[in-house]
């Protein structure tokens, strides 16, 4: 199956999203995503989640990875590329997915 490169493009914190910090019910401030680093790259093979990849983020972007891995494209993005993000509404992470032709 085709390999897909996933690049972490941008991380947002709650202040970016809402204009102010938000807190957990226990009072702690919700931080920016601590799982990913901007510029970090992952190579996806056989639709297997990399060990360090956040489970929440994986479930969100897997549908787009499957599109590229099966040779399909979206009509509104360049061929072989999809821009997507995880659905954590308080601190989303944006990704660039690229089909690698080998």
Q: Which domain holds residue 78?
A: 3-100
The pair of structure tokens assigned to 77 is 């993005």
- The CA–CA distances, whole Å, from 8 to 5, 20, 25, 29, 32 equal 10, 24, 29, 23, 14
Confidence (pTM) = 0.91
* pLDDT tens column, 12-21: 999 999 999 9
* pLDDT tens column, 47-74: 999 999 999 999 999 999 999 999 999 9
| pLDDT over 80 at 102, yes or no | no
In whole angstroms, what is the distance from residue 66 CA to residue 62 CA?
6
- Domain tally for the chain? 1
């Amino acid at each position: 199956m085709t390999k897909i490169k996933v690049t972490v493009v941008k991380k947002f914190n709650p202040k970016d999203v809402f204009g102010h910090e938000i807190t957990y019910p226990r009072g702690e401030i919700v931080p920016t995503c601590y799982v990913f680093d901007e510029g970090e790259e992952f190579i996806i093979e056989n639709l297997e989640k990399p060990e360090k990849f956040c489970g929440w983020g994986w479930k969100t972007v897997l549908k787009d990875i499957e599109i590229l891995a099966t040779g399909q494209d979206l009509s509104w993005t360049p061929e072989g590329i999809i821009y997507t993000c995880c659905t954590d509404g308080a601190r989303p992470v944006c990704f660039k997915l690229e089909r690698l032709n080998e």
